[in-house]
Structure 1
Amino acid sequence: MAQVVRAVRYRDGVPVYRYGGAPHLSPVSVHRVDAAHPPGHGVRHIHEFPVLVYVEQSLADGAADAGDAFLAAPGVVIDPAVAAACAVGRGVAFDPEALGAAAWPSWGSHPLLASFAHGAPGGLLRLTVPPERRPVWSAALTAIETEEQTQTVGYREAMLAHLTVLLVDIARLATDVVGDLRRSDEPLLAAVFEAIDERLGTALSARDVAAAVGMTVGHLTTVVRRRTGRTVGEWIADRRMAEARRLLTATDLPIATVAARVGLADPGYFARMFKRANGVTPREWRAG
């Protein structure tokens, strides 16, 4: 994967990757995919950001055909052997926060990102791009690569504009399929993350979230961990950091005010928590 992607922890021995998210990093990263360059360096992995693999040339009958688009679901163990060994294409990873979305999986409600929270078996949803749209996809990917390499004035906005073209197509192709896949279990996760977002500026705990969705804290913790690989408390902390990054980047609010806005009244504790999660202090993030 590109250098903007980093392993932040392990789940049952499987590395979990996060998109870098720092202001100076590209919001979108394109990388080659083939037998010599499989997704995730050819090992089983988990990621917490949207990943798209577009097949431009099929090399053999089997797992992938030219024009196939694979949406890899965050939070699921992905086996890179699927499709990569028999096709040539490009993979796209991107930071959902750059599109104004919140932390995964609450960004599943974003109209252009909901398709990635699909729940398909094996974590991969296979779509077929219509032949008349395939030149558009290849051109958009090439344009993103060029912007990533040159990084001239406005490159971030240009990359996101080209990415949006692809995401609109995906949303249109996947609407019915994703709706069927998500109906069984998505309402609970949606309620959990709605409860977190509504109370983010308070001293929020897993018990508060459980009360908001009408479940015991033990049962809720078990269900959320089984479906996402993380606890409710970890998701509260993650959402706080996502909002803190947004406020530090988009506003001039004092750091103490940012801390209070995300439910952490002690600025010193907020600074320590922020550096642990992001690798830099809040001041360094804002200056970056």
Structure 2
Amino acid sequence: MGRSSDVPLVGFAHSPVPISVQHVDGSGVTLPRVRGAHAHDFLMLVHIVRGTCAYRVDGRTWDLREGDAFVIAPGAVVDHAVESTGPPGELWSVLFPAEAVAPASWRDHPLLAPFVGRHRGGGQRIAVPPGDRATWRSRLADLDDELSRRRDGHAEAARAHLTLLLVALGRLVDDVPAESGDPLLAAVFAVVEERFAGPLSLRDVAALVGLTPGHLTTVVRRGTGRTVQQWITERRLREARRLLTSTDLPVADIGVRVGYPDPGYFARRFRAAHGSAPATWRTSPATP
């Protein structure tokens, strides 16, 4: 299920190291809440070391138990935060924006394939074998240590630890991402990736993949839970966030570079997605 316009979007706080780790241990599994249904623009990997907990994602409740890894894709609607459903446990979660791993389309990056899966985004549970769980916990602790102690080279080390976690996760997933095996959807995403920075409409994409706009809308919505225009907007705004974070370009110039030559329209689209104007977001990042 795609994120509707009335569901608030939680943005990732831009920083020199775009990775965040949360660790809960001993007094029940409870993470900071965002009131009501919400979505976020970052990826989330959760690992249950012991105990049980539950997430409700895109209308489905996932009951998680010891040894589970759980992934939540960008744009998924989370109805409530993690809650303890049993004895006190231990849980780790890693949050990171797609651009920390995939500068282009995150859905096509092999390390992020588990976040697509058969569910076309949303949530997915992957069982970590008992023999691998100590290694998983150690990798999470090492990542947390690098981010906390901030020693020389910690940014590179943190990215390396995240990569190792994603490689381990990918090795546990035995299915091919649904979108990767659908030539039509792959063609749509390729068009969006190639042309998002210029004028691009549903009609343009439909013509390039050889379908009518109505038929293409139906196919993409059924396959991904979103419309073509929503995917175009997501790609443009993701690039806008990257440029706002990593460059000193004026906001108007960034708008032009991501396909919004009208500064006012760019500001409205950005505010609708992130709750603040681009310049405000740049100086006052949201907290995940």
TM-score by length of 1: 0.72
Mapping 1:1-288, distance limit 5 Å: 11=4, 15=7, 17-23=9-15, 26-32=18-24, 36-37=29-30, 46-58=39-51, 63-77=63-77, 85-86=85-86, 88-102=90-104, 106-120=105-119, 123-151=122-150, 154-174=153-173, 176-177=174-175, 179=176, 182=178, 186-251=182-247, 257-267=253-263, 269-271=265-267, 273-274=269-270, 277-278=273-274, 279-282=276-279, 285=282
Kindly, what percent of the aligned residue pairs are identical? 43
Q: CA deviation at 1:244?
A: 2.6
Give, as a single letter, the amino acid of the residue that structure 2 aligns with 1:52: L
Equivalents in 2 of 1:233, 1:183: separation in Å?
A: 17
Query: Deviation at 1:127?
Result: 2.4
Q: Give secondary structure in 1 for the equivalent of 2:117.
A: coil
Give the superposed CA RMSD. 4.1
SS in 1 for 2:95: strand
Equivalent residue pairs, number = 272
CA distance in 2, matches of 1:121, 1:22: 26
Q: Is the 8 A contact 1:248 1:285 kept in 2?
A: yes
Does the C-alpha gap of structure 1 residues 239 and 35 become closer, same or farther in structure 2, counting only changes over 3 Å?
Answer: same
CA distance 1:38–1:248, shift in 2 (3 Å): closer
Q: In the superposition, relative to structure 1, how do residues 251 and 31 fare at CA in structure 2: closer, same or farther (>3 Å)? A: same
Residue deviations 1:31-75 (CA, integer Å, cap 9, x gap): 438855169669765444322221211469x95453222233444
CA gap 1:254/1:10 in 2 versus in 1, 3 angstroms: closer
Larger RCO, structures 1/2 (Cα 8 Å, 6+ apart): 2
**CA separation of 1:40 and 1:123: change in aligned 2, threshold 3 A:** farther
Which segment is superposed worse, 265-274 or 209-218?
A: 265-274
